[in-house]
Structure 1
Amino acid sequence: MKKKLALILAMCLSLSTLFTGCSAPKPEKEAGNSPAKETGDTFDGTSTDYKVALMIPGNLGDKSFFDASFEAIGLLEKEFGMKVDYVEAGRDASKYYSAYVDLCEKGYDLILTVSSNGDDALTQAAEEYPEQKFINLDGQMEEIPSNVYIMAPKNNEMSYLAGAAAALKAKELNEGVIGFVGGMDIPGINEFLVGYIEGALEINPDIKVAASYVGNFTDTAKGKENALILYNSGIPVIFAAAGQSGIGVIDGAVEKGKFVIGVDSDQAESLKDSRPDMANVIITSAIKNIPENAVTIARQAMNGEVKYGSKGFYGIKEGAVGIAENEFYEKLMTEAAREQIKELKNKVINGEIKLTDPTGLTTEEVNKIREDVRP
């Protein structure tokens, strides 16, 4: 549905107040391809009439990133009463473009997606369907089409808290080294690493961080192999920023009686029924609140408030990221440690702690940060 009629334009002002009573926080800053950004049209109708689709450029069942995005469907239905369709496009990137085209042809008001896996396909579809609106709930695209909006969670902020948690757990166990297993040695994953290192150094300026990479986000066996190497060297806790490969890291922690920090969703909560042994070694998870972020941006899209062609950065202050504070966190982390992490969280929100912006770091700068704390 494309709201371009003069009648609709005349009604925009009055309709813009339809959802403002419960509007969510705006991003801290925005970046894009040009100084002037145009918002979408205010939706003419009730939220139950608003048609939304979610394109998942991967597979469900990872107990992490894609599963978190899928949870957005239920939350959007609950919050707005809307019917949300989705397509699980799998790992074959050659199928992403056709998936987008199929959704565009069906006339959705908004097409959501997650990750940068399908950026090329998204760009092509956006150019070919200029009236279609797209929002990536967790993207890193730099050259942003005029009908695409990128939500960029501040991975370094949640990872900062994860690093503090890891260092505090290591301190409790009289250890001075912690681990990190990333999916791939790429900028998006090194955002997690840089924040993790800074959080750990906040607790222990002398701490060492051993980092390794699986090489992909789907190989649980290799994830476990990487984890076992680190655990066997005496490392007590690993932050697994590796997608589905991170399940292997958790399995390694179970085998060795060690600990792990999950990523993207509350992995202990998602595993406690099917794999309680895994849940019981996850001290916390660095969480992107993707379902809640979907509600935030859908509301803004209906209000005509989204600045397409740009990117918004969302952190702890905006409620977009954080760490899991569940029963396992309370059981596996001391009260004093939890209180210290809470204080650090508040300092980030208040601006008392300024973290390194990893999006502007060169490869050489990331390498130096990594080498400076290598065991």
Structure 2
Amino acid sequence: MTMGLVLICCLLFIFSFGCGSNQNSTTGEENTADTSNDAKTLKVAMLMSGPISDGGYNASAYQGLMDSKKELGIEVAYSESVPLAEYEAAFRDYAMQGYDIVIGHGFEFQDGALKVAKEFPDVKFLVVSGNQGQEPNMASINLKTEETGYLMGALAGMMTKSNKIGAVGGAPVPPIVAPIEAFKQGARLVNPEVEILDSYIGSWDDVDKAKETAIAMINKGADIVMPIASMAGVGVIKGAQEKGAYALGYSADQNDIAPGTVLSSGILSIPDAIRLTLKDIKDGKFKAGVINYGLKDGVLKIAPYHEAEKLVPKDVQDKMEQIEQDIINGAIQVEFIDQQTSN
């Protein structure tokens, strides 16, 4: 969806997807590739575990791929909603087709990338939200999602009236656990007495289960909930809207899902992270290992308050800006915790 993150560790209609290329559907996969015949053109393929229509984690990866195609002049292809059992085969298939770079979007692709990379030393493998690299040809793009999780926690801690808030994760993997644990840290910075509920639903696309989980939290008194669960996270926001509670978006600006319900969102500018990484590779600057991006790089940010502008007091907005700057300049050190803690 940091799964580091894995996954990564959310999401609906905020991006416009015009790819301007041919698409084919094969066994549940959709591929799009530039038709350029230039043999020197860098060829990049991406694998995603969810749909590009999720309005969040996978949608932003798709946007990053398309932005890179336009700005860097590369040839691209992608497969969405790739089943777990087919990760290795999908990596291998693109490598055998002659792609120079194959990206697994999410921590869940890391094991497959580590294995297949050994078979194709001349192909570069990237994992978004991964936490490992491997010489000579595998690297992870690590978004410091604990920073955005911390900020969203601080906002929830200041805005809660019931003194109880909640977070719903897709799975207890590092890139999801880390921002949720940071959510707890941020909330307690501004509100030491706040009670925090958290739950992992074991799915990235079960919208109904995510909604039920959020409603259960709200019924226990939580008045603000945050999802980090890819497409399933839409259910958390819809549940908050249905129950008259508030939600925080994550991964992308999710205001459009429920304007007036979403107070703000922690944005992971995955498009920027992907584009910057591919540019470095094109410029001959690839290094196996972990590539880190955070608030100070402009890759992570807070979304506007939109319709909630009138709901979030000026002093809270000012405090949020101060906390963000404190993280950037090092005055606040957000602890990276990748194991779920008790509340």
TM exceeds 0.5? yes
Identity of aligned residues (%): 28
Contact 1:157 1:322 (C-alpha < 8 Å) held by counterparts: no
* Unpaired stretches in structure 2, ≥5 consecutive residues: 1-37
Contact 1:184 1:242 (C-alpha < 8 Å) held by counterparts: yes
- Pick which of 214-223 and 152-161 moved more: 214-223
Matched, 1:138 2:157: no
From 264, 268, 278, the counterpart of 2:251? 264
Matched, 1:85 2:67: no
> 1:352 maps to which residue?
331
Q: CA deviation at 1:318?
A: 1.5
From 150, 158, 169, the counterpart of 2:159? 169
Describe the superposition over 1:297-347 as per-residue Cα deviations: whole angstroms up to 9, x where unpaired: 111111222211x11222111222222125245344222211110110001
Matched, 1:333 2:312: yes
Q: Please list, as runs of the form range in 1=range in 2, the aligned pairs for 1:209-220 lying within 5 A after superposition.
A: 209-220=196-207
From 254, 258, 269, the counterpart of 2:241? 254
Q: Using the alignment, how far apart are the partners of 1:81 and 1:334 within structure 2?
A: 45
> 2:297 maps to which residue?
318
Matched, 1:148 2:148: no
Q: Using the alignment, how far apart are the partners of 1:238 and 1:121 within structure 2?
A: 33
Contact 2:46 2:104 (C-alpha < 8 Å) held by counterparts: yes
From 266, 269, 274, the counterpart of 1:294? 274
SS in 2 for 1:118: helix
Q: Using the alignment, how far apart are the partners of 1:259 and 1:91 within structure 2?
A: 32
Amino acid across the alignment from 2:238: D
Let me know the Cα RMSD of the aligned residues.
Answer: 2.1
Instruction: Report the CA distance shift for 1:329/1:157 in structure 2 as closer, same or farther (over 3 A).
Output: farther
SS in 1 for 2:121: coil
Q: Using the alignment, how far apart are the partners of 2:157 and 2:337 within structure 1?
A: 21
From 37, 42, 45, the counterpart of 1:50? 42
From 218, 224, 237, the counterpart of 1:237? 224
TM-score, normalisation: structure 2 = 0.83
Q: Using the alignment, how far apart are the partners of 1:157 and 1:53 within structure 2?
A: 29
Q: CA deviation at 1:120?
A: 2.8
> 2:86 maps to which residue?
95
Contact 2:48 2:82 (C-alpha < 8 Å) held by counterparts: no
Q: Write 1 or 2 for the structure with the bigger share of helix.
A: 1
Q: Please list, as runs of the form range in 1=range in 2, the aligned pairs for 1:177-196 lying within 5 A after superposition.
A: 177-196=164-183
Matched, 1:63 2:77: no
Q: Please list, as runs of the form range in 1=range in 2, the aligned pairs for 1:4-43 lying within 5 A after superposition.
A: none
Q: CA deviation at 1:222?
A: 0.9
Contact 1:218 1:243 (C-alpha < 8 Å) held by counterparts: yes
Q: Using the alignment, how far apart are the partners of 2:291 and 2:310 within structure 1?
A: 36
Contact 1:126 1:145 (C-alpha < 8 Å) held by counterparts: no
Q: CA deviation at 1:74?
A: 2.3
Describe the superposition over 1:286-306 as per-residue Cα deviations: whole angstroms up to 9, x where unpaired: 221110111111111112222
Contact 2:143 2:268 (C-alpha < 8 Å) held by counterparts: yes
Q: Using the alignment, how far apart are the partners of 1:304 and 1:98 within structure 2?
A: 28
Q: Using the alignment, how far apart are the partners of 1:325 and 1:338 within structure 2?
A: 10
Amino acid across the alignment from 1:53: A
Contact 2:151 2:320 (C-alpha < 8 Å) held by counterparts: yes
TM-score, normalisation: structure 1 = 0.76
Q: CA deviation at 1:247?
A: 1.1
SS in 2 for 1:279: coil
* Unpaired stretches in structure 1, ≥5 consecutive residues: 1-45
May I ask how many residue pairs the two structures share in their alignment?
306
Q: CA deviation at 1:214?
A: 1.4
From 186, 189, 194, the counterpart of 1:199? 186
Amino acid across the alignment from 1:64: G
Amino acid across the alignment from 1:54: M
Q: CA deviation at 1:91?
A: 4.5
> 1:25 maps to which residue?
none
